[in-house]
Structure 1
């Protein structure tokens, strides 16, 4: 809550070598799972409800193998409705360790969510069942970055030891 002037809501946390599996079905990703103090997914329904109105921003903090922390920040974050397959909208990368969600050849931005039992990615295969991923995510195709993947996090900077996605109302003056 206190990172970068506070007001953040943690929507995802993944700790390397945790016994909690992110290889879950559609319903579990919709409803959320895990323990907020450990590995955690807040749920697609909640993410949609929070972000359907107002402007939200996202910050992703991650601990590198060398023990240092880094981050990624976006000025825009929104998760679409169930009917839109929880389409992700991120934009306005403002700095940090790289534009992993909206940049590159296969960004998660504007993609629908995929799980092993609900394939919405753009690949001819279901990326959620690919051995490198084995989790739900906003896949473009099966070479994306996926912080929910089992260790090591495929293509994630320095195979992060801990990763947290956080959101808050944009330009929140009374958050602290």
Structure 2
């Protein structure tokens, strides 16, 4: 029996897999520079949202989940990256994130940009859990929440820009799509849902 809390998920199919969209950035209508409680419980509107670390931890505890990142540059090209065995642990670990491996055969990016986030605790503007001397969130990443490690190569919760911006790590970026300082137009993060029982 599928957990009723999963009804909050926006479900989409990619091939034969069913996913929950847990993060989406299409416009700048929602500010992602938010404190810890917001990232735990979730926030957003129809187009721009974060479902919350509690629900994300629940989803990844139910089955062997795949993470899929869908990344869009300013020419509207889509890049994807998939990760096997994606897990977000519970609150007692500060929602530590890990995964088993990068699925290069299912991806069209130049490499595993999440490797510097692997095994890291979640950090926000008001809770610094990274391995950097200061706060990655506040200093480099626009007060966004993420699994930073001194500081990371991805920032999907950073600032949305109105056009291509270079050399600006506070903007939404993903290293294997044009580097870690060049802004992306949009991003969507999905986690695979367990197969529903009868």
Q: Which runs of 5+ in 2 are unaligned?
A: 1-11, 161-170
1:101 aligns with 2:120: no
Residue pair 2:131, 2:150 contacting (<8 A) in 1 also: yes
| Residue in structure 2 matched with residue 8 of structure 1 by the alignment | 19
* TM-score of the superposed pair, with normalisation by structure 2: 0.77
1:18 aligns with 2:4: no
Give the 4+ runs in structure 1 shifted more than 3 A.
none
| Residue in structure 2 matched with residue 91 of structure 1 by the alignment | 100
Q: Which runs of 5+ in 1 are unaligned?
A: none
Shift of 1:91: 2.9
TM-aligned CA distance change 1:116 to 1:153, over 3 Å: same
Deviations 1:35-64 (A, max 9, x none): 2x3111010000111112321111111112
More divergent stretch after superposition (153-162 vs 121-130): 153-162
* TM-score of the superposed pair, with normalisation by structure 1: 0.86
Alignment of 1:35-74 (within 5 A): 35=45, 37-74=46-83
Shift of 1:73: 0.5
CA root-mean-square deviation: 1.9
